[in-house]
Amino acid sequence: MTTTNTFGLQHLAPVLIVEEVEPCLRFWTGKLGFTAENEVPGDNGKLVFASAKAGDVEVMYQTRASVVAERPEAANELSGRSIVLFITVDDLDRVESALSGVPIVNPRHDTFYGTTELYVKEPGGTVVGFAQFKKV
């Protein structure tokens, strides 16, 4: 379903603040076939920012240290924040198989709104839900 919006909004890509970018990037590229993009190494050679993309789905990561180095006041802004990513998929069985060994937050279950879902925790600590709508 395509909708228009008053503001010309085109794309949403969350930037998740983590301690380490590399394990998070491997989660998306190694398990789910995303392509790594925009890798930015810091002075020590470790990534301070990177994004991963598959089709219209994109997720970005930045290290907490790099955010605070740029804006020291951000240290207070970042505490206590949480987010859950919700991604609809065509084949939950395939996704579940690819995520073998990843910590499960909420096992596969049916919802009252017509989906079958599975929630996992990626290496940065963010909960990611995958949902397949039931075919009618």
Q: In degrees, to the nearest 5, what angle opens at C-alpha 60 toward C-alphas 57 and 65? A: 170
pLDDT exceeds cutoff 60 at 87: yes
Class of domain 83-136: alpha beta
Q: Where in the chain is the domain with CATH 3.10.180.10?
A: 8-81
Yes or no: say if 108 and 117 are a contact pair by the CB < 8 Å rule.
yes
Q: Decide which of 10 and 105 is more confident.
A: 105
* pTM (global) more than 0.85: no
Q: Where in the chain is the domain with CATH 3.30.720.110?
A: 83-136
- At 123, the amino acid letter reads P
CA distance 39 to 28: 14
Question: Residue 120's CB: how many other CB atoms inside 10 A?
Answer: 21
User: Averaged over 55-64, what is the pLDDT?
Assistant: 93
- Which long-range contacts (C-beta less than 8 Å, at least 24 apart) are formed by 72-81? 78/17, 81/17
Yes or no: say if 91 and 97 are a contact pair by the CB < 8 Å rule.
no
pLDDT of residue 124: 92
CA distance 34 to 82: 23
Is residue 123 left, alpha or beta, with left meaning phi > 0 and alpha meaning psi from -120 to 50? Answer: alpha
pLDDT in tens, 12-56: 899 999 999 999 999 999 999 999 999 999 999 999 999 999 999
pLDDT exceeds cutoff 70 at 116: yes
User: Averaged over 99-118, what is the pLDDT?
Assistant: 93
pLDDT of residue 123: 95
Q: Which fold has domain 8-81?
A: 2,3-Dihydroxybiphenyl 1,2-Dioxygenase; domain 1 (3.10.180)
